[in-house]
A and B are shown apart, each in its own frame.
Chain A
Amino acid sequence: MHWIDWLIIIVYLAYIVYDGVRRSEATHEIEGYFLANRTLPWWAVGLSVMATQLSAITMVGTTGQGATDGLRFVQFYFGLPLAMIVLSVTVVPFFHRARVFTAYEYLERRFDAKTRAFTSLLFLLSRGMSCGVIISAPAVILSIMLGWSLPVAVLLIGAPAALYTMIGGVQAVTWTDVKQMVLIVLGLVAVLAALIAGLPGEVSLTGALDLAGATGRLQAFDFSFELTETYTFWSGLLGGFFLMLSYFGADQSQVQRYLTARSENEARSSLLMSAFWKIPLQALVLIIGVLVFVFYLFTPQPMLFNPVHEQRVRESDRAGDYRGIEREFAAALSDRRAAALAYLAADAAEADGTSEAERRFVAANANVADLRDRATDVVRAVTGDSTYRDVNYIFPTFVLGHLPVGLVGLLVAAIMAAAMSSISAELNSLSTATVIDFYRRHFRPAATDRHYLAVSKLATGFWGAFACLVAVYATSLGSLIEVVNRFGSFFYGSILGVFILAILTRRATGHGAFAGLLAGMVSVAAVATFRPDISFLWHNVVGAGVVVIVGLTVSAALRARS
């Protein structure tokens, strides 16, 4: 990287830490530290909600998905706007009027202490690990692409976020999120402009979209009702609806964002900001990925985008095979380029052979994809990693190799901002649940505010260190993290079911809700184990449904018995 790009990254890191740390001046008691004394404006909270959801995995993974798979992933978010409306009408007034610090605190008021402790513990377990993954994913990519060591990359992302969150609390989280969100959008718009400006002279934007469309990459809708298909219109609208209800309504990392709003309606407005902007923003990220695909039609691309794995293959006994595929790949790239230009020329002239030219281009593109698959198989055989894919390296390769000086630094800073904005919100919420749901509730119920503030800062620091440790060892903890993620997916919808029982019914009791929660988790685990082909988006529907049915049934049975 050029020194100007380094300078941009250093300035970004220095400013964001300074901006976060200076918020400690306004934070002298625990309600200020965790909830900003419920005084924040809706637009700042709304940007913080969006920044928390948008992690670096979105920046590098979703763009890569756009390049290889097109727009279909956008369907994942179709249920989000409707979920936000439902949450605005139901959950927001409940939490706001109950004056709680955590979502789980409300469950004790409505049910009992064990339901609160169990749901909060599940949150701590899953978020603590996922925070490590959020640091690890961009750290691994940046370390490979920029030649940093992994611990250095982890510390560059995790340590500043932990530092300003620990010192400045939720004020630091929110106001740095606002700036980081602006930086992320600025970076995305800049890269979109660079991609359009970087198209070859003979390729217009319409031509680029024609090429993307011919390979199915503008296919945003799949109306089939296949439970085994991950991203369809229906799984996004219904499964996504339940997932977003769980994430924004029952996950402390998001609930805490809108608890800081200065009124009920400002909390609602902050959620509705995502309702308006999330789908267009995701579509923008995916379209950038699609245009990166078009860019590489006319610019030589590496056969594999992960240079470290490629190097391992070159040094292995399969190097000969790999070189053979590479020779075929170079010829296939040149065929594809010629076919793309021929298709555009035929399309522009509206010649009779347009469909034939399109067919040839699609076949040439399929040949390139096939050779990439063969090369990927070689990597899998050499490394023993059967899940290896290089999708997450496509966008960083484009950024570092083809963007002008200045823009590279801006984009690397934006990727770091995306990671840090999610990490800070999660550390803040992990600390809140630790102190409010456990320490203050079970260990020191009558300590001074000053004491709780000190413990809260220590808890934030502890979770920050824990997340960095998980991130450093994430590659070797691969299977453990998968277990934790699977475990998380088992209870996400089930916790939503408990909140549905709490808010929408009067008949549910504490024991009923707890029994429902356990039954919901077991049901989702059973579906995931015996029908692994069913898309995870439906797990939340199953979990929430079972909790409500079992919760109401057990409540009624116990009431009848007593």
Chain B
Amino acid sequence: MTSVSPVPPVPDAAEAPMTRRYVAVVVVEVVVLLGLWLLQRAFS
């Protein structure tokens, strides 16, 4: 019984990290949820 390393082949060096895009996703989600919450507050 062997344990195999889960590490996949070498990454493509040309691929730039997408950290900014991930931060943008979180920011947009917070803004959308805030909008829904304000809609709920304004008309309840």
> How far does the Cβ of B37 sit from chain A's closest Cβ, in whole Å?
6
- A88 pairs with B40, CB closer than 8 A: no
Nearest A residue to B12 by beta-carbon distance?
A264
Nearest B residue to A216 by beta-carbon distance?
B44
- B40 pairs with A279, CB closer than 8 A: no
- In the assembly, what is the distance between CA of A505 and CA of B5, in Å? 8
Nearest A residue to B24 by beta-carbon distance?
A276
Known: A74-B36, A78-B33, A219-B40. A93 touches B8 (CB 8 A): yes
- In the assembly, what is the distance between CA of A120 and CA of B14, in Å? 33
Neighbour of B36 across the interface among A214, A283, A503, A510, CB < 8 A: A283
Within 8 A of B (CB), among A86-102: 88-89, 93-94, 97-98
Say whether A400 faces chain B, with CB atoms less than 8 Å apart: no
- B36 pairs with A276, CB closer than 8 A: no
> How far does the Cβ of A166 sit from chain B's closest Cβ, in whole Å?
32
Main secondary structure of the interface of A (DSSP, over half): helix
- In the assembly, what is the distance between CA of A210 and CA of B28, in Å? 26
- In the assembly, what is the distance between CA of A174 and CA of B8, in Å? 27
Say whether A280 faces chain B, with CB atoms less than 8 Å apart: yes
- A263 pairs with B12, CB closer than 8 A: yes
Within 8 A of B (CB), among A75-89: 78, 81-82, 84-85, 88-89
Neighbour of B25 across the interface among A81, A558, A559, CB < 8 A: A81
Contacts of A74 in B (CB 8 A): 36
Within 8 A of B (CB), among A489-514: 502-511
Contacts of A562 in B (CB 8 A): 1
Known: A85-B25, A272-B25. A93 touches B4 (CB 8 A): no
Q: Which chain B residues have a beta carbon within 8 Å of chain A's beta carbons?
A: 1-6, 8-12, 14-16, 18, 21-22, 24-26, 28-29, 32-33, 36-37, 39-40, 42-44
Contacts of A218 in B (CB 8 A): 39-40, 43-44
- In the assembly, what is the distance between CA of A458 and CA of B14, in Å? 39
> How far does the Cβ of A554 sit from chain B's closest Cβ, in whole Å?
11
Closest 3 CB pairs of A and B: A213-B43, A97-B8, A220-B36
Say whether A111 faces chain B, with CB atoms less than 8 Å apart: yes
Neighbour of A221 across the interface among B4, B12, B37, CB < 8 A: B37
- A98 pairs with B9, CB closer than 8 A: yes
Contacts of B16 in A (CB 8 A): 265
- B3 pairs with A555, CB closer than 8 A: yes
Neighbour of A508 across the interface among B3, B26, B36, B42, CB < 8 A: B3
- In the assembly, what is the distance between CA of A268 and CA of B10, in Å? 17
- In the assembly, what is the distance between CA of A410 and CA of B15, in Å? 41
Say whether A176 faces chain B, with CB atoms less than 8 Å apart: no
- A212 pairs with B43, CB closer than 8 A: yes
- B44 pairs with A272, CB closer than 8 A: no
Contacts of B21 in A (CB 8 A): 268-269, 272
Interface size on A, residues (CB 8 A): 51
Interface flags for A208-234 (1: CB within 8 Å of B; 0: not) read 011011101011110000000000000
Neighbour of B29 across the interface among A81, A88, A503, CB < 8 A: A81
- B3 pairs with A559, CB closer than 8 A: yes
Neighbour of B4 across the interface among A111, A264, A272, CB < 8 A: A111
- B32 pairs with A280, CB closer than 8 A: yes
With A85-B22, A213-B40, A264-B11 known, 10 other A-B pairs at CB within 8 A are A89-B22, A97-B11, A209-B42, A218-B44, A220-B40, A272-B18, A283-B32, A507-B3, A508-B3, A555-B3
Known: A88-B18, A97-B8. A219 touches B44 (CB 8 A): yes
Interface centre among B1, B2, B10, B14 (most CB of A within 10 A): B1
13 contacts between A and B (CB under 8 A): A78-B29, A81-B28, A85-B26, A109-B4, A213-B43, A214-B43, A218-B40, A220-B40, A265-B18, A268-B18, A275-B25, A502-B6, A558-B1
Contacts of B8 in A (CB 8 A): 93-94, 97-98
Interface centre among A82, A111, A218 (most CB of B within 10 A): A218
Nearest A residue to B32 by beta-carbon distance?
A279
Known: A218-B39, A264-B15. A84 touches B6 (CB 8 A): no
Neighbour of B6 across the interface among A213, A503, A558, CB < 8 A: A503
Contacts of A268 in B (CB 8 A): 18, 21
> How far does the Cβ of B27 sit from chain A's closest Cβ, in whole Å?
10
Neighbour of B22 across the interface among A88, A219, A509, CB < 8 A: A88
Say whether A71 faces chain B, with CB atoms less than 8 Å apart: yes
Contacts of A98 in B (CB 8 A): 8-9
- In the assembly, what is the distance between CA of A555 and CA of B44, in Å? 54
Contacts of A269 in B (CB 8 A): 18, 21
